Amino acid sequence: MPSLQSAIERFASLGEVEGNPEARKVFLEFRDQLTQGKIRAAEKINGKWKVDIWVKQGILLGFRLGELSKMGDDGCLSFIDKDTFPARRFTVDDHVRVVPGGSSVRLGAYVAPGVICMPPMFINVGAYVDEGTMVDSHALVGSCAQIGKRVHLSAAAQIGGVLEPVNAAPVIIEDDVLVGGHCGVFEGTLVRARAVLGAGTILTRSTPLFDLVRGHVYKATADGPLEVPENAVVVPGSRAVQKGKGAGWNLSLYTPVIVKYRDEKTDRGIELEDWLR
């Protein structure tokens, strides 16, 4: 999409775009392509995730161009937001089940057929949610987050976005991952296919991930995010504080731990009820 990309980059670099009709036209085309999943904030090419920074620039352009407006039906709750990011309207042809009860998906988010959205949940702009994924109650899919096929985002799982606080790379959750209840995955963390995050696991750029099986410690680097390997089963753990003036206080710090790699027992434990789909 080189011409759309260069137009977005040009408007993003301009000091003043507010009220510029050409910029709005370009943005609306961009948002339409995002909503259809034709462009993405990050894409896997030959096994490597490539982040397209211009997509985030396009989203920020939408916020700059947007004007506050009243949205939604005249029900008991009224909504005021930037007119560039209204809520998405689904049709039966989209084949996405949105169960009634306080959920919202912004335009500019791609949601594939077969996705189930349990209320309340929120999918932000630029997010890409692939086929067969379950977004359970109180789950958040942050801006530009890339969620693979058949992922289970369990109740209250929080997938951070790239807009606030500003991060360069989106969180990526690959195919067939289970994100357990109350997990938090933030700051560009990459969770490889079929990994399982046990309930309550928190992953950020600053959390080292201890692998008990391989005897390795995974960390984010200056150029790369924290990566959870394929099939890893991660649970919330703790490690003793060994340095600093308070080293003798018997404190421990939270740390995620890989306790095993996925096996039949794990699969049985997280099996999903097909009839609910």
Ligand X SMILES: CC(C)(COP(=O)(O)OP(=O)(O)OC[C@H]1O[C@@H](n2cnc3c(N)ncnc32)[C@H](O)[C@@H]1OP(=O)(O)O)[C@@H](O)C(=O)NCCC(=O)NCCS
Contact window for ligand X (CB under 6 A) among 8-16, 76-84, 100-108, 265-273: 265-273
Q: Which is nearer to ligand X, 23 or 232 (CB)?
A: 232
- Is 193 a binding residue for ligand X by CB under 6 A? The answer is no
Q: For residue 231, what are the CA distances in angstroms to 118, 135, 151, 159, 175?
A: 26, 21, 13, 19, 11
- Is 235 a binding residue for ligand X by CB under 6 A? The answer is yes
CA distance 116 to 130: 11
- Is 198 a binding residue for ligand X by CB under 6 A? The answer is yes
Residue 238 gets the label, from left (phi > 0), alpha (psi -120 to 50) or beta, of: beta
- Is 266 a binding residue for ligand X by CB under 6 A? The answer is yes
CA distance 152 to 100: 19
Q: Which is nearer to ligand X, 140 or 162 (CB)?
A: 140
- Shortest Cβ distance from residue 233 to ligand X (Å)? 5
Q: What single DSSP character describes residue 168? A: S
Contact window for ligand X (CB under 6 A) among 5-13, 48-56, 160-168, 228-236: 228-236
- Is 260 a binding residue for ligand X by CB under 6 A? The answer is yes
The number of residues that bind ligand X (CB under 6 A) is: 17
- Is 116 a binding residue for ligand X by CB under 6 A? The answer is no
Tell me which residues in 161-180 interact with ligand X (CB under 6 A).
180
Phi, psi of 49, rounded to the nearest 5 degrees: -85, 125
- Is 38 a binding residue for ligand X by CB under 6 A? The answer is no
Q: Is the alpha carbon torsion for 203, 56, 117, 74 positive or negative? A: positive
- Is 142 a binding residue for ligand X by CB under 6 A? The answer is no
Closest by Cα among 85, 115, 262, 121 to 178 = 262
Q: Which is nearer to ligand X, 98 or 233 (CB)?
A: 233
Q: For residue 135, what are the CA distances in angstroms to 97, 117, 124, 142?
A: 11, 5, 13, 12
Site residues, ligand X (CB under 6 A): 136, 154-155, 180-181, 196, 198-199, 233, 235-236, 259-260, 265-266, 269-270
